[in-house]
A and B are shown apart, each in its own frame.
Chain A
Amino acid sequence: MRLCTLFALATLGLMGAGPLEAGVLNVVATTEDLASIAREVGGDKVQVTALARGYQDPHFVEAKPSFIFTLNKADLLILVGKDLEIGWLPPLITQSRNSKIQRGGTGYLDASQTANILEIPQGEITRAMGDVHPQGNPHYWLDPGNGRRIAQAVQQKLGAMSPADAAYFSSRYADFDRRLAQAEERWDATLAPYKGTKIVTYHRSWPNLCERFGLDVVGYVEPKPGIPPSPAHTIALQAEIKRLGVRVILVEPYFDLKTPNAIGRETGAKVVVLAPSVGAEKEITDYIKLFDYDVNLVVSAIKQAGGK
């Protein structure tokens, strides 16, 4: 008899979680950008936790056991996907003992599914190209259009998980959409005079941002993705920067500034530590403020470096 009960329990467990109770959903996002978007859409019907900090390299987060506890209680896991978290998230999910957030579970949302992904490699891919992402560039959240797509996916997911609040989520989404559109007009206007400005970046973190706002990336401090700067590449890059008249070098906050600064001294280009994520600096508390910060910084850097 007892065995039967155990078996029934085991079966129930294997079948997945039962219906969700009404109330607050526990949402865990792998990055602070996704967390911010989830807060915009979920309002006070969700409680959101981010795993990686905004000033951390999201490729190299440590799979700390404290994250296992966080994931254990999650109703919904939102991840960046495109292999960004491949070095640390899969073992955390396995150890979370949480059926909802397993791959394919009801609470597993890969935010890249509906996003516009750039730099999907064509043809043969080998690691001779460095640490390439075969499914495309995973830094896609740096295009506000993708922020909107993520928000929409989150809204649909939350609505499906808690139908009673679906109308609430869709009105929150509409409000976020409106504020984001207003902000985009502002950013477009600020950056309009600088369209076509040639820049160099450290890692390939900014293709979406640059494409969206018309900046032209002509080189990288890294010789190949994930490969640290080499003297030969640095010398070649300096020549290229001088030839093309590049004024600005964008660096993520988690890279060493030694090489970019040396290139800056040699060429006169201005080195700017740009924010790749919400939380990279104290004042960047949400997704819209992230672009406010970056757009202002890029414009002031171009001006300081003697651009138009």
Chain B
Amino acid sequence: MIALALTLAAPAAWSATFPPVTEAERGVASVEGFPNAPAVVLSKRAELTLRDPSAGESSTLEIHTRTKILTEAGLSRGQVAVSHGPGLRLEGVEGRTLLADGREVPLGADSVFVEQTSRARRSFRTKAVLPAVAVGAILDVRLRLRFDSVFFPEPWSFEEPIPVLHSELRFTAPPGMGVRVEPTRGEAPWTSEPIRTGGRQGARLVMTDLSPPAEEPFGLAGQDLRPQAVVIPVSYVDADGFGVPLLDAWDTVLGTFERRHYGPVRAGNRGLDPLARRLAKAEDPTAAILGYVRDGVATAKTGVLPAPGETLAGILAAGSGSYAAKAILLQELLSRAGIDGTLVWAIDWRDGEPDLGVVNPGWFEKVLVRIDRQGIDGYLDPGDPRLPPFRLAPMQEGTSALLLERSGPRPVTLPTTPAVGSLRRATMELRLGEDGAFGGVGRLALRGHHAWYHLLTHGDGDARSGSWRAWLSDALPEFDVSAVEVEESVRFQRVDVSFRLDQKRSQVLGDEAALRPSLPLGPVRQRYDAPTEARRTPVRISFPDQDEVEMTLSWPPGWELDVAPADLDVRTDVGHGVGSLELGEGGDRLVYRRRFTIHRRTVQPGEPYAALRDLYAEMERHDAQEIVLIHE
């Protein structure tokens, strides 16, 4: 039995009564501007108490939220769940429900459940189910968490998915520890007042009347939209009385990483030289070395930290290593082949794009290696088997990264691939049979990021053909797809699929035959439903790309073209759409061509968004048109 009733009163000193509910809190029945709000957070208070790591003390975070249920839809707020494990330990949870009639129902020990999410990682999830939750009830929940490392500070969000009337973060640090608080980007949106108590110092940050995050479709990462504060320990005084820098500057962080984490990985390099000599003899040493590290050593974990105890010799022997250790292996092998490489800390835009002016190694997702490529930067990803040299995954392209140069860390923006570099091109050659059924052959060519998305993900042999057949069957719902053949190349970032098409009998009418010519890449549907005036945040597109369709269609005597799509030519700063139809001289053949290009990665609200929305609307309207042949 893994289920345990959590020890509710763990630290007796902590188990305190909740602050009294004010008349103002009791009186809240709705939230201005949010008439449908299912509940409102009356207050969200966090207290971060940083301890001295040199004394072996761990830090604590105590969170108290007070929520009022406004509608039946808000009843689901009566459950809280928190994940925890060795790095972040849950020490206690308290709760109560205050009913509108004044009754108080405490959270019972038998309503708190602990579920182990990984025995190997010793991670857990605790869920507390508040009792007697009803519309009008006020819920108090208090959690207390403890952690040891202050080196990867987590940002604190003031918001919640429902309106928040009062949100505050108090933090204090022990004497001798230097701390500063930063917004994850932009200007600090909170009011702040300093705290000095018992030799400890810190601040109280307050925000009020917070709306829920916008969370619009196709938007930026949530972290990029929320007001977040990160409390950064910049220094502390060690046991000998010397000041020790922590996260005061990227130089310090890099020095610490080299000394504590990367240096030991490099030091264990037995067996590296002969391997490097062998790989350096390849026609393209860079590709050979990257290929060895990328494919020959499995990637065990992401992030910028190596696993404890990792060495180069160790990961070579195990055939597995962390992203960081693999990057160091790549760097060392390149160095022995005479190629100078620099480690790069890179983020994933889906996790948010923080301001690198805020020193926090926790921002980063993976470690790359940069080399000089005939005067321009070339980036190598040691952990993605779908990427050849000098190609980046779309999640990294155009994002801020940190070059760990010997002269000191340097922020850079990673390069991007233009739209024409990420191409989908469909070529179809179809003929209408005497029976009124379309049939023919097609080819689909994917390049760049579109190829990356599919490379190595469909298995091999029959499994790969089957997977693509399923993909094409979805994209061409009016056809039976057969004779699928696939070729793919990581080196050239390409996937080529050929196939045969036969119209399904349920679509065959005998005297009328219709076809949507944008298939299999269309028809485009409007993704941006929100009117321009309603869109509040930028649209984030995964990567710029271009779709091309060329369809040749012929038909037998007795049939004639009844309906054809009108030409389209829309060009905007965001992208363009072109569609045209050319009728053969004999009147029994046509060629349809269509191109849809999106240039931008980020599209701002207002006019740029309107242009994007209009472009999609035009494409949708164009793609909705059919080619219709009739038999008289």
Do A and B interact?
Answer: no
Residues of B within 8 A of A (CB): none
Residues of A within 8 A of B (CB): none
